[in-house]
Structure 1
Amino acid sequence: MGKKRSGGGLTTTQQAAKFLGVSVLSGAVLAGLALPAAGVLGLAAKGSVEGFDEIPANMKAPPLSERTTILDVKGNEIAKVYSRDRTVVGLADISPYMQKAIVAIEDARFYEHGAIDLKGVLRAVNKNAQSGGVSEGASTLTQQYVKNVFIEEAGNDSGKFAAATEQSIGRKIKELKYAIQVEKELGKKRILQNYLNITFFGQQAYGVEAAAQRYFSKSAKDLNLEQSALLAGIVQSPSRYDPVNDPQEATERRNTVLGRMAEVKDVTSAQAAAAQKKPLGLKISRPKNGCITAVDGAGFFCDYVRQVFLSDPVFGKTSKARAKRWNQGGLTIRTTLDPRAQDSVQKSIKAHVYQSDTVATAVTLIEPGSGKVLGMGQSRPYGFGENETQINLSADKKMGGSAYGFQTGSTFKPITAAAALEKGKKPTQRYSSPYQMDYPSPVSTCSGSWRNDDHDPETVQNENRDEVGPYRMQEATAKSVNTYFVQLISDIGICPVTELANKMGVHPASGDKLPQSPSITLGSANMSPLIMANAYATFANRGVYCSPVFIDSITGPGGKKLKVPQSTCSQAMSKKTADTINTLLRGVVEDGTGRKAGLSSRASAGKTGTTDNRKAAWFVGYTPNLAGAVWVGGPGERDVEMKNITIGGVHHEKVFGADIPGPIWKDAMSGALEGKPAPGFKTVHIANPDKEKKPDNKGDDRDDNKPDKRNKPGRSGGDNGNSSNSGDNPWPDIDIPDILGGGDGGGNGGRGNDGDRSNGGWPDWR
């Protein structure tokens, strides 16, 4: 056989060796290569027998990358994500037609030869010599499987992929040796199963199950004869035989496969001929990959789950290891997302802020005591189109959020109040609280002191000129009196405030440290809605902070449970301090700036926030069993001054935390809490030395004091949208803060007169 010559003056043995990409060694037999008795090839990598022997004996096949399915807490699917769309199935779940078709067209003697089919090599050599080109290959299914393993192991590493696909002697010799090992260890059926699961079928489909779903919207076990032949034909060249983009070429290839199946007696000639006459019968299912396909507006929640996986060491010691594990997929991730809460968030957003508005809103709901994030949404959907974004407006920068976050305005004031209480201040603490004042100086910090500029001092003022003290903590909180809280932080120092904030998980969205400046009490630091919602959950949880969590459980391939991050909880402040803050903030939603956000059917507490020039407006609030933060402002990195602006189809002369974020929060919370228990707060009695009222001491969750009757609202309602047509107080037995005023004829009682006044860049709005 070795002396027979055909085209080019080479012996058939030499042609076979050339076809395999190896050289011939006269009289040498490659050690360990068990070839058929029909003939022996002397082969060596780069002319050396030792090259073959040096190849490691064991090939470690990586886990096949598969789809990962992300579920909500009830088990409903949120989205599927994958680097390669694949679902691994056993031979029992693959149509017999499919098994026969792939063997017939790719390796008809698969069940007869060993790892290498010498007859196939010689046949291919002769046919290629006759055609003058490469018309037939000679790699067995086992060899093809090994090559695919190398490609799978390369993943997204371009260097490894090039090495796995290069046309080199070394790569082919390595492939041959591993093929021998695979044949010995796995056997024919397992090799066929693995091959059908690993190979690429075009159109983003890896493995026969994904291919069956992509082209025919059915499972691989249900493929008929002609469908199986079509898929088997694609494997040789997925781009050339793509039935979606070139149906004619795909049809011809399918019919070739059917003819081959008849030739090897897998089907009769009549069956093949009948199948060849049928149309392709495609029923395409477009791939739905990634968080962009998430249901119920949960795209950003889905992406946050991905960010958690890629950043938490529990999923791998290095970022590279975590990314590799994520790309392998095959996971079922059950998250903390509550479908009722998420649906309520989305409905509330759509009712108040349109996707097309110049501003956006973001909402996050979290469960006090567990840290579980139950809902997360925003008015700008996850996507790449007009008025869509990939920036998670609820998250910190490192977790996919904006670069800086958003100033929180007066929603930071309760943290200052809590720090003061922890330092021994009483809720009856009184300050002069003038309408306008210079920032006191010096003020102690964690490392020294902050000093105002003697020549050009920074000043702070209240919302309107009628807000003149003295005030005590309860009324100052309800009315959000800026000068009171500046005096309070100047009294206790900045360090106790930032230290408590850190214990509550509060940090700038950029990842920087909290600034050591008294303006922090007015919300000068940029935060994310998630951080603020969780901080207020600490108040609801009677001072116990619990870190936020998004993942409930993860199941890997084969049902193996993976370790997931757990919420860690710690006492950030005393219960008494938390109970006192709950009492103060319940007053805000009952009688203060947050009155529009109050929940009528259950105890609630919260705080409004509006920043300088109205570039951001907030409402952050909670019940004992749910906390939430709502932000409204310019999306992404773009600031928008919310004056004379239409949002959600409603025109606003000036935007406040109470008139857009407040109602969004109320609607989102109401739907999320529907049907759930309505516990009360444990509140404290706060004495009013100026006007003491007898406490009822009934032990319920009511606030025992109302703010005094210092001011009356204006005519048409400002921040809280009072619709009264009269300047008289419609609630004569309680105080309505002058923040309610400011409409036509509101005189000095309304926000509108001085609300847009800037004070040296300090965010001083409520």
Structure 2
Amino acid sequence: MDKKKKTNISQEAIRWIWIVAFAPVAVLLVMLLLTAAGLFGRMPSFEELENPKSNLATEIYSEDGKVIGSFFVQNRSYVQYADLFPADSTQHLRLDGRSVPPIVAALVATEDARFRSHSGIDLPSLVRVGVKTVALRNTSQGGGSTISQQLAKNLFPRDTVGRRGRIARTGKLVLSKLKEWITALKLEYNYTKEEIAAMYLNTVEYGSNAYGIKSAAHTFFNKEPHELNIQEAAMLVGVVNAPTRYSPVRNPENALARRNLVLQRMEAAGALDAAQRDSLCVLPIVLNYKPVSHNEGSATYFREMLRLVMNADKPQRRHYGNDWDYEQALREYEENPLYGWCRKNRKADGTPYNIYRDGLKIYTTINSAMQTYAEQAVQKQMETVIQPQMDAQYKRTKVLFLDASPAERERIVRRAVRSSDRWREMKAAGASEREIEAAFDRAQPMKVFTYRGERDTVMSPRDSILHHKRIMRAAFVAMDPRTGFVKAYVGGPNFRYFKYDMARQGKRQIGSTIKPFVYTFAIDHLGMTPCTPVPNLPVTIETANGTAWSPKEAGKVEQLGELHPLSWGLARSRNNYSAWIMKQAKQPAAVADFIHNMG
């Protein structure tokens, strides 16, 4: 009897052991089912997984196919898996019996060694995490996330829970993990392993404002992804873990150690042999660092002009000083497809295009070589000729605005101070005008622009404004006269310091460029020819308000009344010949109307 009782107790104990052992598994399965059903929050649909959305940079191309700039929230451009393979097949690596690009070999070896054998969730890694990370508190073992799970987190970021309590944060983390597992399984169902690897490389952050492997390769090595060698690929994969800590720019020693760790893991995975690993580990990291910025690079003023034009709203009359300007702007908006393009065109879902997020490809007529030459020409002329003349004048006179009274000079500087970012930011922060004025008179370390390069110095913000007011500026636009295509466009000396685009925004007297149109009026409306004789004499025109206008010539020229053909006056840009034509028209306004009608 006693023996039978003992046997019953043993069976009861065994049953409870099985219940306790399988209870977590059962709970986990139930949680997964409830999560998949959306009980703990919305899950991405299959449609969203088939068309994942992320911020894609808009790329601007020159006529010769070079990327001259981009607009972005996150500097990201997509590449296909096939585009990751080096052109030289000897650079391809073998991993799990397959030929793979170096960047993929580094990724799989570092982040998910069993990438090919699981379906989104790596059970051995989960067991390892459960024992070593959770039970033994050994966080060096990592989180056990597969590449598919990390991709799920990148495409559909977790909810931030920084202000919640510890229990709430833990619960939210568990739910986020469950969602990532289910999303990873869906990704594995929808995409091939190659597509998942490429999507991962296209979505992660590499630091220095580079998102995606294409941007990272350009930023750190000025290369296309397929041009990366093994050690460069290893460095980029290593930096993903902590973009700041392993940045080769900010922390080169950490970056080197991390790169060599990736190379060791590549050897352990079978992508490299020991000799290859040893030879690569002794190589230094050689960067060709070119961070992307709206303020840097080629054709910065052109890119900004393009952004403003493509995002332009339909003109409103209240924004223009006269009817003619408004009518011309409205006509351009209606007839020029580029003007307001992002407002006029709609995506498939009916929303307008976003130039920062929708990955547009903008092909321009800019010639990258001509653009470079134009920028160099402006820089050289301003540095060696124009700015030295201004500096000599200021040194001689100690006056910045020669033709202005002291009161006018003070108004100019005060207006510049109040228009500065520093003034607006301090005002918005609640500082009084007295406090702001005092801050503008207090010297501090800063960088200022010079034509010989950016300079570190110590001066007050007010003095820095005066310094930059002394910088002479110029614009340069080159066009193909047969097509009207813009080949080079320089709006100023440095877009970071001088946002004002003198090529597009600058308002100047039209000067002698008006004269060919005046002569065209003479031929078209007055029946003259290039051979029509005209006396070389001063000309006076009575204006509508009763005053007389007598144009002067540049320099000392004699006007003795001799007859010269009309073409002689145009070739020498003589002001009296242009005035003579307008006087023959009886109504000078008719000449102006004619020029307006020519656009």
> TM-score, normalised to structure 1's length?
0.44
Residue in 2 aligned with 1:309?
A: 310
Amino acid at match of 2:286: L
Amino acid at match of 2:354: K
> What SS does the aligned partner of 1:327 have?
coil
> What SS does the aligned partner of 1:88 have?
coil
Distance in 1 between residues matched to 2:63 and 2:115, nearest whole Å: 47
8 Å Cα contact 2:110-2:262 kept in structure 1: yes
Render the CA deviation track for 1:218-274: whole Å, top value 9, x for unaligned. Answer: 443344443333322222212222222223222332333233333333333444344
Query: Are 2:241 and 1:236 equivalent residues in the alignment?
Result: yes
Residue in 1 aligned with 2:495?
A: 383
**CA spacing shift, 1:685–1:346, aligned 2, 3 Å:** farther
Query: Are 2:117 and 1:284 equivalent residues in the alignment?
Result: no
> What SS does the aligned partner of 2:189 have?
helix
Residue in 2 aligned with 1:720?
A: 553
- Pairs within 5 Å for 1:684-723: 684=524, 686=526, 700-701=529-530, 719-723=552-556
Q: Structure 1 residue 144: deviation in Å?
A: 0.9
Residue in 2 aligned with 1:146?
A: 152
8 Å Cα contact 1:685-1:705 kept in structure 2: no
8 Å Cα contact 2:152-2:180 kept in structure 1: yes
8 Å Cα contact 2:206-2:240 kept in structure 1: yes
Query: Are 2:520 and 1:606 equivalent residues in the alignment?
Result: no
Residue in 2 aligned with 1:70?
A: 60
| 2:217 maps to which of 205, 212, 217 | 212
Distance in 2 between residues matched to 1:394 and 1:708, nearest whole Å: 36
Residue in 2 aligned with 1:354?
A: 386
Amino acid at match of 1:315: C
**CA spacing shift, 1:267–1:365, aligned 2, 3 Å:** closer
More helix by share: 2
**CA spacing shift, 1:73–1:268, aligned 2, 3 Å:** closer
Query: Are 2:153 and 1:121 equivalent residues in the alignment?
Result: no
Q: Structure 1: where are the runs of 5+ without partners?
A: 6-10, 15-23, 31-41, 155-165, 396-400, 412-593, 598-604, 608-620, 625-679, 687-696, 712-716, 741-766
> What SS does the aligned partner of 1:137 have?
coil
- Pairs within 5 Å for 1:528-543: none
| 2:523 maps to which of 667, 683, 686 | 683
Distance in 2 between residues matched to 1:354 and 1:97, nearest whole Å: 51
> Kindly, what percent of the aligned residue pairs are identical?
24
Distance in 1 between residues matched to 2:61 and 2:387, nearest whole Å: 26
Amino acid at match of 2:556: S
Q: Structure 1 residue 374: deviation in Å?
A: 6.3
Render the CA deviation track for 1:470-506: whole Å, top value 9, x for unaligned. Answer: xxxxxxxxxxxxxxxxxxxxxxxxxxxxxxxxxxxxx
Query: Are 2:265 and 1:260 equivalent residues in the alignment?
Result: yes
Distance in 2 between residues matched to 1:98 and 1:338, nearest whole Å: 30
Query: Are 2:35 and 1:29 equivalent residues in the alignment?
Result: no
8 Å Cα contact 2:78-2:202 kept in structure 1: yes
Q: Structure 1 residue 106: deviation in Å?
A: 0.7
> What SS does the aligned partner of 1:303 have?
helix
| 1:172 maps to which of 168, 173, 177 | 177
8 Å Cα contact 2:57-2:356 kept in structure 1: no
Amino acid at match of 2:209: Q
Distance in 2 between residues matched to 1:341 and 1:250, nearest whole Å: 36
Distance in 1 between residues matched to 2:22 and 2:145, nearest whole Å: 16
Distance in 2 between residues matched to 1:51 and 1:363, nearest whole Å: 62
8 Å Cα contact 2:205-2:240 kept in structure 1: yes
Amino acid at match of 2:294: G
8 Å Cα contact 2:32-2:182 kept in structure 1: no
Distance in 2 between residues matched to 1:28 and 1:131, nearest whole Å: 21
Residue in 1 aligned with 2:78?
A: 88
8 Å Cα contact 2:105-2:266 kept in structure 1: yes
> What SS does the aligned partner of 1:70 have?
strand
Distance in 1 between residues matched to 2:370 and 2:220, nearest whole Å: 35
Amino acid at match of 1:390: K
**CA spacing shift, 1:338–1:718, aligned 2, 3 Å:** farther
Distance in 1 between residues matched to 2:178 and 2:198, nearest whole Å: 24
Distance in 2 between residues matched to 1:53 and 1:167, nearest whole Å: 11
- Pairs within 5 Å for 1:485-634: 597=512, 606=514
Query: Are 2:381 and 1:333 equivalent residues in the alignment?
Result: no
- Pairs within 5 Å for 1:387-398: 389-395=498-504
- Pairs within 5 Å for 1:464-503: none
Q: Structure 1 residue 54: deviation in Å?
A: 6.0
Amino acid at match of 1:606: I
8 Å Cα contact 1:57-1:181 kept in structure 2: no
- Pairs within 5 Å for 1:184-199: 184-199=189-204
**CA spacing shift, 1:267–1:130, aligned 2, 3 Å:** farther
Render the CA deviation track for 1:582-620: whole Å, top value 9, x for unaligned. Answer: xxxxxxxxxxxx6xx4xxxxxxx616xxxxxxxxxxxxx
Distance in 2 between residues matched to 1:231 and 1:361, nearest whole Å: 41
**CA spacing shift, 1:702–1:251, aligned 2, 3 Å:** same
Distance in 2 between residues matched to 1:256 and 1:365, nearest whole Å: 51
8 Å Cα contact 2:374-2:489 kept in structure 1: no
**CA spacing shift, 1:130–1:52, aligned 2, 3 Å:** closer
Render the CA deviation track for 1:49-84: whole Å, top value 9, x for unaligned. Answer: 651696353224445555544345566664455444
> TM-score, normalised to structure 2's length?
0.55
Q: Structure 1 residue 111: deviation in Å?
A: 0.9
8 Å Cα contact 2:68-2:368 kept in structure 1: no
Distance in 2 between residues matched to 1:106 and 1:3, nearest whole Å: 39
Distance in 2 between residues matched to 1:374 and 1:354, nearest whole Å: 24
8 Å Cα contact 1:79-1:291 kept in structure 2: no
8 Å Cα contact 2:219-2:292 kept in structure 1: no
- Pairs within 5 Å for 1:37-48: 42-43=31-32
Query: Are 2:201 and 1:200 equivalent residues in the alignment?
Result: no
> What SS does the aligned partner of 2:126 have?
helix
Amino acid at match of 2:29: V
Q: CA RMSD in A?
A: 4.9
Q: Structure 2: where are the runs of 5+ without partners?
A: 1-13, 86-91, 93-100, 160-170, 313-338, 391-469, 541-549, 577-599
Amino acid at match of 2:79: V
**CA spacing shift, 1:606–1:269, aligned 2, 3 Å:** closer
Q: Structure 1 residue 390: deviation in Å?
A: 0.3
8 Å Cα contact 1:310-1:319 kept in structure 2: no
Residue in 1 aligned with 2:43?
A: 55
> What SS does the aligned partner of 1:201 have?
strand
